[in-house]
Amino acid sequence: MENRPLEYDYTVAKMFMWTTIITGIVGMSVGVLIAFELAYPGVNTIFGHTIAQYTAFGRLRPVHTNAVIYGFTVSGVFATWYYVGQRVLKVSMAESKFLMFIGKLQFWLYLVVVVFGIASLIMGWTTSREYAEMQWPVVLGVTVVWVLWGISIFGLIGIRREKSLYISIWYYIATFLGIAMLYLFNNAEIPTILATDPAGQSMIGSWMQSISMYSGTNSAMVQWWFGHNAVAFAFTVPIIAMIYYFLPKESGQAVYSYKLSLLSFWGLMFVYLWAGGHHLLFSTVPDWVQTMGSVFSVVLILPSWGSAINMLLTMKGEWKQVADSPLIKFMILASTFYMFSTLEGPILAIKSVNAIAHFTNWIPGHVHDGTLGWVAFMIMAGLYHMAPRLFKRELYSKSIMAAQFWIQTLGVVLYFTSMWIAGITQGLMWRAQDQYGNLAYSFVDVVRDLHPYYTIRGVGGALYLIGFLMFSYNIVKTITTGRRVEESELQNASPMAA
Ligand code: HEM
Ligand code: HEM
- Residue at 108: amino acid letter: W
The dihedrals phi and psi of 202, each to the nearest 5 degrees, come to -75, 150
- Residue type for position 281: L
Q: What are phi and psi of 433, to 5 degrees?
A: -125, 150
Instruction: Give percent helix, percent strand, percent coil of the chain, each to the nearest 5.
Output: 75, 0, 25
Cα of 31 to ligand 2 centre, how many Å?
A: 6
Ligand 1 lining (C-beta closer than 6 Å) = 130, 227, 231, 235-236, 275, 278-279, 297, 300-301, 304, 341-342, 345-346, 348-349, 354, 357-358, 363, 366-367, 370-371, 374-375
**3-class SS of residue 48:** coil
DSSP element (H, E) containing 279 = none
Longest dimension (CA), the chain: 82
Q: How far is the CA of 74 from the centre of ligand 1 (A)?
A: 18
Using alpha carbons only, what angle is made at residue 412 by residues 53 and 357, rounded to the nearest 5 degrees?
75
What is the rounded distance in angstroms from the CA atom of residue 88 to the CA atom of residue 230? 26
DSSP assignment of 426-494 equals: HHHHHH-B-TTS-BSS-HHHHHHHHHHHHHHHHHHHHHHHHHHHHHHHHHHHHHHHSPB--GGGS----
Minimum CA distance residue for ligand 2 atom 22: 31
Gap between the Cα atoms of 167 and 423, Å rounded: 38
Q: Could you read off the pLDDT of 134-150 as tens digits, one per residue? A: 999 999 999 999 999 99
Residue 338 CA: nearest ligand 1 atom is: 27
DSSP secondary structure code for residue 194 in this structure: G
Kindly report the pTM of this predicted structure. Answer: 0.95
Nearest ligand, CA 281:
1
Determine the average pLDDT of the residues in 161-166.
Answer: 94
Is pLDDT above 60 for 1?
Answer: no
Of the ligands numbered here, which is closest to the C-alpha atom of 418? Answer: 2
Say which DSSP state 79 is in.
H
Q: How far apart are CA 302 and CA 290, in angstroms?
A: 20
Closest among 479, 480, 478, 465 to 72, alpha carbons compared? 465
> 82-116: per-residue pLDDT in tens?
999 999 999 999 999 999 999 999 999 999 999 99
Q: Whose CA is nearest to atom 12 of ligand 2?
A: 61
Query: pLDDT tens digits for 365-390?
Result: 999 999 999 999 999 999 999 999 99
DSSP category for residue 94: G
- Nearest ligand to the C-alpha atom of residue 374: 1
Q: What is the CA radius of gyration of the chain?
A: 23
Atom 34 in ligand 2: residue holding the nearest Cα: 65
Ligand 1 mutation pick, 341, 371, 420, max ligand atoms within 8 A of CB = 341
Q: What is the pLDDT of residues 291-347, one digit of tens each?
A: 999 999 999 999 999 999 999 999 999 999 999 999 999 999 999 999 999 999 999
Among protein residues, the one whose CA lies closest to atom 26 of ligand 1: 370
Ligand 1 atom at shortest distance from the alpha carbon of 281: 15
Q: What is the mean pLDDT of the chain?
A: 93
Nearest atom within ligand 1 for CA of residue 359? 16
Phi and psi (nearest 5°) for 189?
-150, 160
Ligand 1 atom at minimum distance from 346 CA: 5
Q: How far apart are CA 17 and CA 382, in angstroms?
A: 10
